[in-house]
Structure formats: structure tokens, C-alpha cells
């Protein structure tokens, strides 16, 4: 399974082989700043879609790494595409947010 490495600074995504070290961040292959490891289901926006990248950044900074989110009826919830909907989503599902786990290399930047 190939995950995505997503750099918010470059607004770029790179494929990454799945591994089991359970980290959420690593250095960007392009600019060496912090990039985030997201599931293979994540579809990055186009580089020029600033508002969509703003939503991606909002989710990541609030602990939502596009992991599956389940509602009270045990149904998977899709991630919203607008910032206003994202804010409501984060507020509603904040208990399912993840803690950022950095690699040693990424934290030394």
C-alpha cells in the first residue's frame, strides 16, 4: 500500500511505501521542511487550489490526517472540502484527532 507524503509548503504530494513505524511527519523530499504522511485514499488538491490546500492544512494542524472518521452510528464520514465545513467537522469529531508523531530528523529542522 502506498501512502502520500504531503508538503504544505511546496503544496506537493509524493507516493511513499507503507511501513509500520506509525509516524505522521517526515522531511519533504522536495524542500526538506516538514511533510505529513497521509493514507493512500487522500487525493491532494491541485497546486494552484489555495483554498483547498488551506483546508488540508487546517485538518492536519488539528490532528486529522485523513484517517477514517466514524460517527455515532459507526458510519465513515467523508472529509469536507470547505474551511467552514472543516471547522464544524473538527469540532464535532475532535475526540478522533491524532497526535502528531515526528521523526527525529523532522524535529531537528
Phi, psi dihedrals of residue 60, rounded to the nearest 5°: -65, -45
Q: How far apart are CA 9 and CA 47, in angstroms?
A: 11
In whole angstroms, give the CA distance from residue 69 to residue 89: 10
Structural domain span for residue 19: 2-107
C-alpha cell at 25: 511527519
Count of the separate structural domains present in the chain? 1
The pLDDT value given to residue 106: 41
Helix/strand/coil percent split, the chain, to 5: 25, 20, 55
Block mean pLDDT (10 aa), the chain, length 109:
89 80 80 91 94 97 94 96 97 91 46
List Cβ neighbours of 90 (8 Å cut-off, separation of 6 or more): 58, 59, 62, 64, 97
Give pLDDT, residue 23: 72
pTM for the structure as a whole: 0.84
Distance CA 28, CA 66 (A): 18
Amino acid at each position: 500500500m502506498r501512502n502520500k507524503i504531503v508538503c504544505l509548503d511546496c503544496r506537493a504530494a509524493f507516493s511513499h511505501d507503507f511501513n509500520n513505524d506509525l509516524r505522521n511527519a517526515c522531511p519533504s523530499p522536495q524542500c526538506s521542511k516538514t511533510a505529513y504522511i497521509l493514507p493512500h485514499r487522500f487525493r491532494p488538491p491541485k497546486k494552484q487550489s489555495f483554498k483547498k490546500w488551506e483546508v488540508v492544512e487546517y485538518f492536519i494542524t488539528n490532528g486529522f490526517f485523513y484517517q477514517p472518521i466514524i460517527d455515532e452510528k459507526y458510519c465513515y464520514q467523508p472529509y469536507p472540502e470547505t474551511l467552514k465545513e472543516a471547522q464544524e467537522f473538527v469540532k464535532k469529531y475532535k475526540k478522533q484527532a491524532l497526535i502528531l508523531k515526528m521523526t527525529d530528523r523532522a524535529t531537528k529542522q
